[in-house]
Amino acid sequence: MTTDFAPVLEGHDLLQLYAAPTGPTQALRGVDVTVRGGRISAVTGPSGSGKSTLLALLALRERPAGGELRHRGRLVAGLSRRQLRRLRRREVGWVAQRPTHSLFPQLDALGQIEQMARLRGVDCDPLAALDEVALTPLARKRPEVLSGGEQQRLAVAAAAVGPPALLVADEPTAELDDDSAALVLRLLRDRAGRGSAVVLATHDARAIAAADTVLRFRHGVLSGSQEAGRDHTVTIDGQGRLQLPPEALPLFPGRRVAVTVVDGHVELRRAE
Ligand SMILES: Nc1ncnc2c1ncn2[C@@H]1O[C@H](COP(=O)(O)OP(=O)(O)OP(=O)(O)O)[C@@H](O)[C@H]1O
């Protein structure tokens, strides 16, 4: 179902250090990671395990202290600050753990979307972008007067303008109830469907279930990775209806499905 895109980012033996009173501490070490367009990758693990540190590297906000990070085959270490800034502006959507850190404090919700479209050099319908996260009634509000969940939805909608080649979000559903989380996950799936590489740091089972790849961290080390695609046994009722597993639902945002019976199996695709 998922198209196989070339890697946007490839990290090998990544190391990140932070200063601590006792000397430099390794926030990440020995991490190998590949991020592809068309996929949602969830980075998970206990608090302090290195998720945000990895996201800062993948969003090109920091450079690794060691190892190799390549963006479309080019070594990030070889890029100037100016080149990195330009890449971030044009190609990277970023949702900070505190969503206000990725919003412009002086702009209202509509202005956030318009400004992001300007920075990326893309056309966009700002009202439709707000509607996607159910924020149209708050179009003229600035971030400071929005609730935490509204700020989070706005930050995701703004980061997703374009859509960007890379969409990196730190805990994008942490503040959200089930309905709002479903909106955000549907939006992220839509952008992956349009080719974005989506990377999330998350503790949220709803977001992990929506991911194609799950990367588990412990003490700064990648302790396991898992591809989605588990088999599910479900029952078909007397009318031929079946219940899709929850992680399949974000694949069908309009809830319309094209069904093809072919070679003894059934394929489901999003109906246009
Ligand atoms: N700017 C920094 N300066 C010093 N230490 C840092 C800095 N950022 C992170 N660390 C340390 O690096 C380690 C990894 O932190 P990180 O924020 O990546 O974890 P996390 O898995 O995202 O945690 P959480 O789920 O709580 O957000 C922690 O020990 C943290 O204290």
Give, in order, the Cα–Cα distances in Å from 25 to each of 44, 62, 215: 20, 16, 22
The residue nearest atom 29 of ligand 1, judged by CA position, is 48
Token pair listed for 96: 């900070």
Cβ partners under 8 Å of residue 261, min gap 6: none
Pocket test for ligand 1, best of 25, 53, 62 (most atoms within 8 A of CB): 53
Cα of 6 vs centre of ligand 1, distance in Å, is 30
Q: What angle do CA 142, 206, 48 make, to 5 degrees?
A: 80
Spacing of C-alpha 143 from chain mean position: 21
Contact 63, 233 (CB under 8 A): no
ipTM score of the complex? Answer: 0.94
The residue nearest atom 7 of ligand 1, judged by CA position, is 18
Show the ligand 1 pocket: residues with CB < 6 angstroms: 18, 27, 45, 47-53, 201
What is the crossing angle of helices 148-159 and 109-120, to 10°?
20
Contact 69, 14 (CB under 8 A): yes
Token pair listed for 149: 């969940």
| CB < 8 Å & 24+ apart, contacts of 175-178 | 175/147, 175/148, 175/149, 175/151, 176/149, 176/152, 177/149, 178/206
Query: How far is the C-alpha of 84 from the C-alpha of 61, rounded, in Å?
Result: 8
Pocket test for ligand 1, best of 52, 62, 202 (most atoms within 8 A of CB): 52
Query: How far is the C-alpha of 123 from the C-alpha of 51, rounded, in Å?
Result: 32
**Running along the chain, 272 residues long, what does each successive block of 10 average in pLDDT?**
73 95 93 95 95 97 96 94 94 96 97 97 96 97 97 98 97 92 95 95 93 94 80 79 73 82 79 80
Cα of 94 vs centre of ligand 1, distance in Å, is 18
Model confidence, pTM:
0.83
3-state SS class at 11: strand
Spacing of C-alpha 186 from chain mean position: 11
Cα of 78 vs centre of ligand 1, distance in Å, is 26
DSSP alpha helix (H) spans, the chain: 51-58, 81-91, 109-120, 126-132, 148-159, 178-193, 205-210
Cα of 209 vs centre of ligand 1, distance in Å, is 24
Cα of 7 vs centre of ligand 1, distance in Å, is 26
Cα of 43 vs centre of ligand 1, distance in Å, is 14
Contact 93, 170 (CB under 8 A): no
